[in-house]
Amino acid sequence: MPTIYAYTSPAAGHAFPLVPGLLELQARGHDVHLRTAPALVDVIRAAGLHNVEPVDPRVPAIEASDYLATSPKERLTRGLENLIRRGPFELEQFRADVAELRPDLVLTDINAYGAVVGAEESGLPWASVQPTLLAYPDADTPPYGLGLKPLGGPVGRARNRVLNRVIISTYTKAMLPGINGLRAGAGLAPLDDVVQHVLRPHRLLVLTGEPLEYPRRALPATIRHVGPQAWEPEARAPDWLLEDGDPWVLVTCSTEYQGDERLARAAIEGLRDEGVRVAVTMADAYGADLPSAPNARVERFVPHGPVLERAAAVVCHGGMGIVQKSLAAGVPLAVVPFGRDQPEVARRVVECGAGVQLPAKRLTPERLRHAVRGAIARRASARAAGDALRRSGCPARFADEAEELVGAGDRAVAVV
């Protein structure tokens, strides 16, 4: 029986998108092993994946603290430093698991830098998984992360080339000292820039597609888009959600704390008289001081699927998970990006007609109310964008790409 070994960053937004593809691989007869956040182990086992174990507790103990930054540059460097500090513990565990499982294929989260180094060190067939937009520079697309509008023609291509050089230099300075330190400890040659980090695996599986991804004339053959892999734990819809009444607006804070509770505050205040009911899910921000409104309900977590079936719009920070789930349901979005990849995601939502964006520095209840109205007006184009996104891939495509690396025969694939 083939075996597959995969290692993911300890965050729901990175672990959950792996679940559909891994279940498909398991259904095809592969012995799939996943390492993920300790808090997610039982949840993913309950979905039917047999071999799920926690990552080393020292990994999630190093929390992402970029929300404490006071500038965009500090937010970038602080977030990357946190992730790279996890690397030695990831690498230690990865090596031990490979020695025990002897897999034929390893899958690594692109942000699990220690596992990435371990995968290259192992010499095994290896795919890296990116659960967000592709961060690969070319002259056809705006530089990743800035949230810039696409600009065509010679002027646009010139702009993209110049700014891509700036972005690559910035990320290289922030990331490469830590990554190359891990690589030196594994006897691997240093990288020259962050683009090489993207291109090292035998395959990079990008878990999204058009229309959130811009069309490109050409990409390296190792980069494959496999479409959105939306998944959430099964849960019964609460009785209050099923009651007759005004349509719902779903307001979500990040599952990995980012200090975005002010988004919930603005939504409760801004939508209190809008003829909608407001379902606010706070995740790790639960317990924050919030105003009350007769049409608002605040919960730590509510399954998004049943809410999206009844939602007129979604208000969110721009995480890929909620954005792709909303689009798949044809629900328009008002996106308020706080950092990380969120400005880029927000721009893609606007460009494909699926919603509007409001910069976090301009967030007020009044402006958010107008943003929600603008999103609701885009319902038809959001449905069209969702149709296109669903056609861009599926779990079967993810599994096909993984199996192509494994090859035929009685071999094993493991996912950490």
User: How is 201-217 classified by DSSP, letter by letter?
Assistant: SSEEEES--TTTSPP-S
pLDDT for residue 93: 98
Report the sign of the C-alpha dihedral through residues 389, 171, 361, 9, in that order.
Answer: positive
pLDDT digits (tens, 9 = 90+) for 277-292: 999 998 776 677 889 9
Per-residue confidence band for 412, with pLDDT thresholds at 50, 70 and 90: very low
* Residues 129-154, mean pLDDT to the nearest whole number: 91
Res 150 pLDDT > 50: yes
Domain range annotation of the chain: 3-229+394-415, 239-391
Res 59 pLDDT > 90: yes
pLDDT for residue 79: 74
Tell me how far apart the alpha carbons of residues 173 and 376 are, in angstroms, rounded to a whole number: 41
CATH of domain 239-391: 3.40.50.2000
Res 13 pLDDT > 80: yes
Per-residue confidence band for 122, with pLDDT thresholds at 50, 70 and 90: very high
pLDDT for residue 217: 85
Would 3-229+394-415 and 239-391 be classified into the same CATH topology?
yes
pLDDT for residue 75: 65
pLDDT digits (tens, 9 = 90+) for 290-309: 899 999 999 988 889 999 99
Tell me how far apart the alpha carbons of residues 228 and 225 are, in angstroms, rounded to a whole number: 9
Per-residue confidence band for 410, with pLDDT thresholds at 50, 70 and 90: very low
Q: What is the mean pLDDT of the chain?
A: 91
Query: 49-78 burial string, b = 16+ CB within 10 Å, else e?
Result: bebbebbbeebbebebebbebeeeeebbbb
- 268 or 406: which leads in pLDDT: 268
Task: Return the bridge partners of 203, or none.
Answer: 127
Tell me how far apart the alpha carbons of residues 320 and 228 are, in angstroms, rounded to a whole number: 9
* Residues 335-341, mean pLDDT to the nearest whole number: 88
Percent of the chain residues topping a pLDDT of 70: 94
SS3 70: coil
Res 203 pLDDT > 60: yes
Tell me 236's DSSP state.
P
Give me the architecture of the 3-229+394-415 domain, per CATH. 3-Layer(aba) Sandwich (3.40)
